[in-house]
Each structure stands twice: as structure tokens, then as C-alpha cells.
Amino acid sequence: MDIGLIGLGLMGRAMALRLVAAGHGVAGYDINEDARMQAAGIGVDVQETAADVARGTRLILLSLLTSDNRRELLWGAQALADALQPGTVILDTTTGKPEDIEEDSRRLATAGIKLTDVCLSGSSQVMQEGRAIALIGDNEKDADYNEVIEGLSKARYYFQKPGEGNRVKLIVNLVFGLNRLVLAEALGLAERAGFNLTTILEILKSGETYSVAMDTKGPKMIARVYEPAVARLGQHAKDVHLIMEYARQLGASVPVTETHAQIIDALVREGLGDLDNAAIFKAYHS
């Protein structure tokens, strides 16, 4: 199957690797020249413009940073919406504002184009390893793109309508972020007490305190090595603010996430946003 992929950053390239390995033809585009070059090196047929991607396929995956990026792509200078063929299906993996994808989905539907959120839970490394989970704002019986998503995820959950996949992704990302924060704080306390951090991490992993963050982020924290990033600190800072906005809409209390936002925002202001999100540990060591 020929698949379009717009957004060839960390997650976009990881998706492209799996799609190419599964035998799909992938036509891709990114505004960043280095991202385009790296994608070409893994077998992506890199296009000159996003519109060129739209002209060659009727199934397009988006891997962007924000809802605003999607809107700029569709109706801004790149005018992707003008190049889309009726019957095109757009699967947006971006973690953005749920109400934005609801509105954008309705707007595109008037032109015979389907847009829905297919949020992929996990880092670029998780994606490469086939362990991502798909949170889909669609009805399963209408998901004729299932074969493609099965190749990108180990499990799929359907939430009936656009926007709901994003809402569930925010809940999931709340837990991911706080697992990293708690681990960083525990290791910071242990270091100040003079304990061997490798031993402390082993203890934490061996009992009821375990979380996957201990496997993926613990060694990076102990080594203080935050590059290359598989998921960036700045991107999670964006997610944390989306989580708080969602909570405010519902009247839900998220005091720990509010504290997390203060900590992560301070690190981003220091210019650390491009580091791996394990760099939350920098809040606890000099």
C-alpha cells in the first residue's frame, strides 16, 4: 500500500521504518531539510511539498507537534487541504487539543475527507520496537486503515469519534510523565543521601515500586546522558499543559501535574527542551 507521511521527526521516522519494513511504499515530507535527508536514508520517497504527498496517496499519516501545526499545514502556506483528493483518510498521530481535531474533522468532512486522531502511545524507540499502543478516535467498524495501524502498534483501542483518542492520550501521558518525575525525585534523594544509584534503581525495579520508566529512563538519569533523545523534554512540557487545560475543562483536580509543569517549564526555560525527557532529573542534580 502507498502511504503518505507528513512529519519526519523522531516519531515520524520510527513509523516510517516500520511501514517500509512491512513492505509499504512511503511518500514523506517534512519542512526540515535534515529530517527529509534522514528519512530518505531509510527508504522514504521524500517529496518536494506536502501537496505532492497528497497527490500520490489517499491514506496520510501526520506526525506533528501541535494542533496549530496541523492547521497551518492544511490551510496555511502549504495549503495541503487544497491538494487532498475526495476519499482521502488522514490519521493524525499528533498529541494536540481534542476540540481542535473535532473541528478540523468536521471542516474536512464537507470536502469528502476523513480526519481522525490515531494517537500512538510510546516513544520513538517504543515505536521502532513495535510496542506502541494506538488510541483511536473512530469506530472500529469504520477503520478500514486497520492493517496499517496494526503494523504500528501492539494493541488498539477505539473511542468512537475524533478527539477522544487525544483525550485518552492526555490521561496516559499524565502517568508517563509523573512516573519519570517520581523516579527522578527518588534518585535525587538517594544521591543526596550518598547511596549508590545503580543499587537504588535495582531495588526500585525489583518490587512493587516498579515502572517502565525505571528501565527506559533510570540508566539515562544515573549516567546523566540525555542525548540522543527518543522523546524530548520540551514536547512533554507541551503535553503537560494540554493535560492541565483538559483538567480545567472538566473541573478535575491535578495538583501533582501542576507541580510537574512548574518543574519541567523551568528546565525548558534553561534551554533543555531538546534533551530526552529523562532530563527531568536535572531538576534534582547540579
Whole-number pLDDT of residue 64 = 96
Assess whether 71 and 105 both reside in one domain.
Answer: yes
Question: What does the pLDDT look like over 4-31, one tens digit per residue?
Answer: 999 999 999 999 999 999 999 999 999 9
Whole-number pLDDT of residue 251 = 98
Assess whether 44 and 104 both reside in one domain.
Answer: yes
Assess whether 192 and 214 both reside in one domain.
Answer: yes
Assess whether 173 and 265 both reside in one domain.
Answer: yes
Q: Is the pLDDT of residue 1 over 80?
A: no
Question: What does the pLDDT look like over 20-75, one tens digit per residue?
Answer: 999 999 999 999 999 999 999 999 999 999 999 999 999 999 999 999 999 999 99
Q: Which pTM value belongs to this model?
A: 0.93
What is the arithmetic mean of pLDDT over 156-160? 96
Assess whether 188 and 75 both reside in one domain.
Answer: no
Assess whether 156 and 185 both reside in one domain.
Answer: no
Assess whether 137 and 183 both reside in one domain.
Answer: no
What is the arithmetic mean of pLDDT over 140-168? 95
Confidence tier at 286 by pLDDT (50, 70, 90): confident
Choosing from 144, 161, 178, the residue where a domain stops is 161
Choosing from 120, 143, 161, the residue where a domain stops is 161
Q: How many domains does the chain have?
A: 2
Assess whether 143 and 226 both reside in one domain.
Answer: no
Assess whether 118 and 247 both reside in one domain.
Answer: no
Alpha-carbon distance of 2 to 23, in angstroms, equals 9
Assess whether 155 and 187 both reside in one domain.
Answer: no
Whole-number pLDDT of residue 285 = 87
Question: What does the pLDDT look like over 89-140, one tens digit per residue?
Answer: 999 999 999 999 999 999 999 999 999 999 999 999 999 999 999 999 999 9
Alpha-carbon distance of 221 to 215, in angstroms, equals 11
Question: Burial letters for 75-103: b for 16+ Cβ neighbours within 10 Å, e otherwise?
Answer: eeebebbebbeeebbbbbbbbbbbebbbe
Whole-number pLDDT of residue 59 = 97
pLDDT averaged over every residue in the chain: 96
Choosing from 106, 135, 161, the residue where a domain stops is 161
CATH of the domain at 208: 1.10.1040.10
What is the residue range of 257's domain? 168-283
CATH of the domain at 39: 3.40.50.720
Assess whether 175 and 126 both reside in one domain.
Answer: no
Whole-number pLDDT of residue 35 = 96
Assess whether 157 and 202 both reside in one domain.
Answer: no
Confidence tier at 203 by pLDDT (50, 70, 90): very high
